[in-house]
Amino acid sequence: MNKVYIIGMGPGTADYLLPAATKELERADCLIGSKRLLSLLPYKDKKMIRLKCRTDEAVSYIKKNREAERIAVLVTGDPGLYSFLLPIRKAFKEDEYTVIPGISSMQLAFARIGDSWQDAKIISVHGRSKGNLAAEVKANDKVFLFTDAKFPPDKIAGYLLENGVKKRRAVVFEELTYPTERIVDTDLKTLSNMKGFGLCVMIIKK
């Protein structure tokens, strides 16, 4: 029975894709991933399955076909950070899959500002509720956020201000590694009045 490979694709462009990941991508018969990740790859001779929100459908496909196909599941950044790895862990035994790490947008964001992330609180509001976000920002000197289109950086800044968060530096990283990459380094009040952000992550720090 073939193992399933969970491959970290890095933050965006091929420059940040690890050689170990490229090796397994080339060996795979079937690639499962988002439209954006699949579009990064040059392969014409492989089956490509676009992964949408229904991770259960992907798990079902893997279970039915992994004996006949060598399957690789592509995830943005590193599989260990808010990725499809969790459903795989629940559906398969540890010896039935292999994880190939990737460079996370979190790592790259901190590298861009020359800072470490070992002391950062990591939070995702990508497809998730705000939860106790304001309290977490108040309690931590350094917070990293995965954002999404429904709760973009300007709305996050406004929410934090409304909930009593003050004197914080906000750094927004948009389209990391792409030619359109943009970094906005400002305060929460200024950020709350900015619009039009695309694919972003954020660092909020004292």
Residues 68 and 159 in one domain: no
Tell me: pLDDT of 127 over 80.
no
Res 129: pLDDT: 63
The token pair that represents 36 in the structure block: 């954006």
Res 190: pLDDT: 96
SS (H, E, C) 95-160: HHEEEECCCCHHHHHHHHCCCCCCCCEEEECCCCCCCCHHHHHHHCCEEEEECECCECHHHHHHHH
- Bridge partners (DSSP) of residue 151 are 148
- Split into its structural domains, the chain has a count of 2
For 117, residues 6+ apart whose C-beta sits below 8 A from its C-beta are: 106, 107, 110, 142, 144
Residue 188 backbone dihedrals phi, psi, to 5 degrees: -65, -40
Residues 77 and 113 in one domain: no
Domain that holds residue 196: 106-205
Residue 134 backbone dihedrals phi, psi, to 5 degrees: -60, -45
Q: Which of 79, 103, 127 is the last residue of a domain?
A: 103
How confident is the model over 76-95, as pLDDT tens digits?
999 999 888 999 999 999 99
Kindly state the average pLDDT of the residues 131-159: 93
Residues 111 and 196 in one domain: yes
**Total-model pTM:** 0.88
CATH, residue 200: 3.30.950.10
Task: For the chain, give the percent of residues with pLDDT over 70.
Answer: 98
